[in-house]
Copies of this chain bind each other. A is one copy, B any other.
Amino acid sequence: MIKIAVMGLGTVGTGVVKVVEANETPIYHKLGDKLEVKTALVRRFKENSPYRSLMTDQFSDIENDPEIAVVVETIGGVDAAYTYTKRALCAGKHVVTANKQLVAEHGCELLRLAKEHHVNYLFEASVAGGIPILHPLTQCMAANRVDEIYGILNGTTNYILTKMVREGATFADALKEAQEKGYAEADPTADVEGIDAGRKTCILSDLAFGHQTDPSVVPMEGISRIDLKDVEIAEKAGYRIKLLGRCLRLENDGRTAYVAPHVIPVDNPIAGVEDVFNAVVVRGNATGEVMFYGKGAGELPTASACVADVIEALQATPGRPEISWDDNTDGFRDPLELTSSYYVRVKGAPSEKFGDVKILSQEAGQSAFITSAMTGHEIQSLTADALACLRVLA
Q: In the complex, are the beta carbons of B286 and A23 less than 8 A apart?
A: yes
Q: How far is the CB of A29 from chain B (nearest CB, A)?
A: 7
Among B26, B139, B267, the residue within 8 A (CB) of A312 is B139
Asked if residues A26 and B307 are in contact (CB atoms below 8 Å), the reply is: no
Contact B139 A322 (CB under 8 A): no
Query: Is A52 in the interface zone, CB < 8 Å from B?
Result: no
Contact partner of A294 among B20, B139, B142, B288, CB < 8 A? B288
Q: Hey, which chain B residues are within 8 Å of A221, CB to CB?
A: none
Contacts of A92 in B (CB 8 A): none
Copies in the complex: 2
Closest chain B CB from A108 CB (angstroms): 16
Residue A102 is within 8 A (CB to CB) of chain B in the complex: no
Cβ-based interface call for A284 (8 A): yes
| Contact mask for chain A residues 207-232; partner B; CB cutoff 8 A; 1 contact, 0 none | 00010000000000000000000000
- Option from B19, B27, B267, B291 in Cβ contact (under 8 Å) with A292: B291
Stretch at the interface among A40-48, A192-200, A297-305, A369-377: A297-305
Say if the beta carbon of A131 comes within 8 Å of chain B: yes
Contact code string A25-39 (vs B, CB < 8 Å = 1, else 0):
111011110000000
Q: Does A135 reach chain B (CB closer than 8 Å)?
A: yes
Return the chain B residue nearest A295 by Cβ: B288
Query: Contact residue range for chain A?
Result: 35 or more
Q: Within the complex, what minimum Cβ distance (angstroms) separates A301 from chain B? A: 5
A291 to B140, CA, bound (A): 16
> Would you call A289 an interface residue if the criterion is a C-beta within 8 Å of the partner chain's C-beta atoms?
yes
Residues of A298-324 whose CB lies within 8 A of B: 298, 300-301, 303-308, 310-312, 315-317, 320-322
| From A26, A311, A322, residue with most partner B Cβ within 10 Å | A26
* B315 contacts A317, C-beta separation under 8 Å: yes
Contact yes or no, B312 A284, CB < 8 A:
no
Return chain B residues, CB-CB under 8 Å to A308: 139-144
A27 to B147, CA, bound (A): 15
Docked Cα-Cα span, A303 to B288, in Å, equals 12
Interface residues of A in 302-348 (CB under 8 A from B): 303-308, 310-312, 315-317, 320-322
Interface flag for A59 (CB, 8 Å): no
> Contact between A287 and B316 (Cβ–Cβ < 8 Å)?
no
Q: Which of A33-78 contact B (CB under 8 A)?
A: none
Contact A130 B287 (CB under 8 A): yes
**Contacts A135-B136, A317-B315, A321-B32 given: A144-B287 contact, CB under 8 Å?**
no
11 further contact pairs, Cβ within 8 A, besides A25-B145, A135-B139: A130-B287, A141-B308, A143-B305, A269-B269, A269-B272, A269-B273, A287-B294, A287-B304, A291-B293, A315-B322, A316-B317
